[in-house]
């Protein structure tokens, strides 16, 4: 009888720690949750940055002009563009 009781307690403890809903799995899920929260915060920051850039591309003429000058080598009428090569 004592042996049966010890086996039952051992099985219960095993499932408490290592079972599908055990403490070990719970800790793993908590770590995963924290990692996802950090990733979510970073994605929200990236999203805000992209929203600001989209607004600038639609509305800010100075930003658009700066991009045209920098990336496309464009200039206003009467301006000269100097390119230096090594």
pLDDT digits (tens, 9 = 90+) for 8-25: 777 777 777 777 777 888
In a domain, 77, yes or no: no
Whether 67 maps to a domain, the answer reads yes
- pTM attached to this predicted model: 0.59
How do residues 26-79 score in pLDDT, each as one tens digit?
Answer: 898 999 999 999 999 999 999 999 999 999 999 999 999 999 988 888 888 888
Distance of alpha carbon 13 from alpha carbon 66, whole angstroms: 67
Judge whether 85 lies within some domain.
no
Is 14 inside a domain boundary? yes
Tokens of 54: 């989209």
Domain count, the chain: 1
Residue at 29 is within a domain: yes
In a domain, 83, yes or no: no
Q: Which domain holds residue 24?
A: 2-72
Could you give the CA distance from residue 37 to residue 43 in angstroms, rounded to a whole number? 10
């Amino acid at each position: 009888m004592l042996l049966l009781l010890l086996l039952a307690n051992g099985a219960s403890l095993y499932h408490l720690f290592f079972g599908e809903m055990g403490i070990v799995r719970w800790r793993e899920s908590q770590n995963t949750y924290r990692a996802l929260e950090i990733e979510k915060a970073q994605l929200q920051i990236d999203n805000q940055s992209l929203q600001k850039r989209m607004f600038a591309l639609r509305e800010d003429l100075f930003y658009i002009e700066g991009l045209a000058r920098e990336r496309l080598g464009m200039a206003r009428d009467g301006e000269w563009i100097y390119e230096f090569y090594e």
